[in-house]
Structure 1
């Protein structure tokens, strides 16, 4: 129904704005396929949204979508203070945030565009590349502080947890999903960017990094392949006592789609435009066939189109 809403709104807006001129100096001049709009995006999703924006602008030559990439907390602030009306992030709005928006007489339209995941990465020399969900909870909860607690034969020392940003959507996901008191432990470090995070993990054998999977999932992207060659992606098991290594899953597309990889999350576009503007047009495009094919290619799971998972023996 949400996709039908976007399609109808897109078509209606095209008729209205191509058929009418700008009669008022204050009236918006953008349409679903032309004009200029600024959107605020959780920086965890920069690779996939950059691709979506460039492809959208390639199709609609008169469209200018300016994507600003920020930590999740700053993205939410942009919408709450009404400075930006289209945002991309990995959670829905809270009831308190919705109340703030409704006081401004705006209605948020939420479109799920992908199933994403959080990846755990370690140094390539680290032999402990398989962890259970319980072990991760112990690490992020501050109970497990050294690699020797996980493996008594390990030659590694104290664990250093590395996020892109302590205010990021990835950090918030870990706090909400894996930490009982929602507080990161004292051995947590913020690298301030995804590239810096990967650099740190590559150079520090004791590091354990947490990153959005779209930074390492598109194997047709030479930058992603370069990142993959510099770090090791951890396999995670939801079983407390896995019997075999086959119980551990890396954040591959098939495992995300099947739900066997445990650290999954959703990706949303939230709009308060209230009219058929360029932001609405962009959201409709990403949720449509072409935008969903880009998500499929990137290694994430499309939210609005079926995905076939083929087993090979």
Structure 2
């Protein structure tokens, strides 16, 4: 009889603890899954508008997902990944063989996913009549052979060509240097701002300027920033590198990225060093999936 009473008392105590524990349990789980959790990601600043559009849609679908982006230069984004400060990045550069080996030495198998084909857009001032430029002329500008607008158009009164990039650690700079095999310094008429938006502002205010930015900054008319930029500058059309002296000029449009007639294109990736299928994995799957690829196309880039 005493045993029964003791057992009944123990069960009552356990039931009471269970009731209070259930009341104290948070309604939302705190563990991370591909569609739930809180993370930070690092994004090459060239892809800020694209990332904002992707994250807005992703988080509207998955209410328990909280992704905070950090927008930095391409160099800085990669450094954060390698330093274990961030698990997911969006960049136009892959890991080098040495970087892959470094991560594997730490038992980390980083996964690279191609999410888009991007183009570098060359932009000039609204007053500049020369928005059709040959590929070889662009090449000569970065070789230091062409430095004045009247070398492109003898009637031009604009003077020196001032080339402006987003920042010194930019993948935009690397893309140009790799394209033309430049191993030393760029010509003295090449300058750096801090961000893509500052490139647009510089070109808007300086008639002789030529800016270089990612095409996603000027391709979505429904985006207020992109629309504003398009009203301030002209986008340059360029001949194909395979027919530089031809009569056909191509803008950085997805169709000309796809057929490779526009000469300044590159791939865009997510790189994920998560050691499990976390929120970064879910975000990557979303961007690479149908809905995410539709956003890529809307941003003026070619889906992967």
Q: Tell me the equivalent position of 1:280.
A: 281
Deviation at 1:147, TM superposition (A): 1.0
* Contact map agreement 2:219 2:298 (CA 8 A) in 1: no
Residue 173 (structure 1) aligned to one of 172, 175, 179 = 175
* Cα distance, 1:274 vs structure 2: 2.3
Q: Is the 8 A contact 1:141 1:179 kept in 2?
A: no
Kept in 1, the 8 Å contact 2:204–2:233? The answer is yes
State how far apart, in whole Å, the 1-side matches of 2:187 and 2:87 are: 34
Runs of 4+ in 1 over 2 A off after TM superposition: 178-183
Q: In the aligned structure 2, how far is the partner of 1:207 from the partner of 1:46? A: 23
Partner of 1:259: 260
Aligned CA RMSD, in angstroms, stands at 1.3
- The number of equivalent residue pairs is 273
1:118 aligns to what SS in structure 2?
Answer: strand
1:129 to 110, 128, 131: 131
Residue 196 of structure 1, aligned match among 183, 195, 198? 198
Measure the CA separation in 1 of the matches of 2:227 and 2:279.
Answer: 33
CA distance in 1, matches of 2:47, 2:98: 25
Shift of 1:232: 0.6
| TM-score when normalising by structure 1 | 0.84
Cα distance in 2, alignment partners of residues 144 and 211 from structure 1: 20
Q: In 2, are the aligned partners of 1:78 and 1:84 still within 8 Å (CA)? A: yes
The aligned residue for residue 245 of structure 2 is 241
Superposed CA deviations along residues 44-78 of structure 1, whole A, max 9, x for unmatched, are 00000011111111111110111101000001101
Helix, strand or coil at the partner of 1:260: coil
User: Which whole-Å CA distance do the structure 2 matches of 1:114 and 1:206 have between them?
Assistant: 32
Unaligned runs of 5+ in 1: 1-27, 304-313
TM-score by length of 2: 0.87
1:97-124 Cα offsets, whole Å, 9 max, x none, are 1122111110111100111100000111
Residues 302 and 278 (structure 1), Cα distance of their counterparts in 2 relative to 1, 3 Å cut: same
Contact kept in structure 2, 1:34 and 1:62, CA below 8 Å: yes
CA shift at 1:179, angstroms?
4.5
Q: Name the CA distance, whole Å, in 1 between partners of 2:189 and 2:86.
A: 35
Could you tell me which runs of 5 or more consecutive residues in structure 2 were left unpaired when the two chains were aligned.
1-29
Query: Deviation per CA, 1:214-255, whole angstroms, max 9, x where unpaired?
Result: 00011222321221111011011122312x2xx110111211
Question: Could you tell me how far apart the structure 2 residues matched to 1:57 and 1:95 are?
Answer: 34
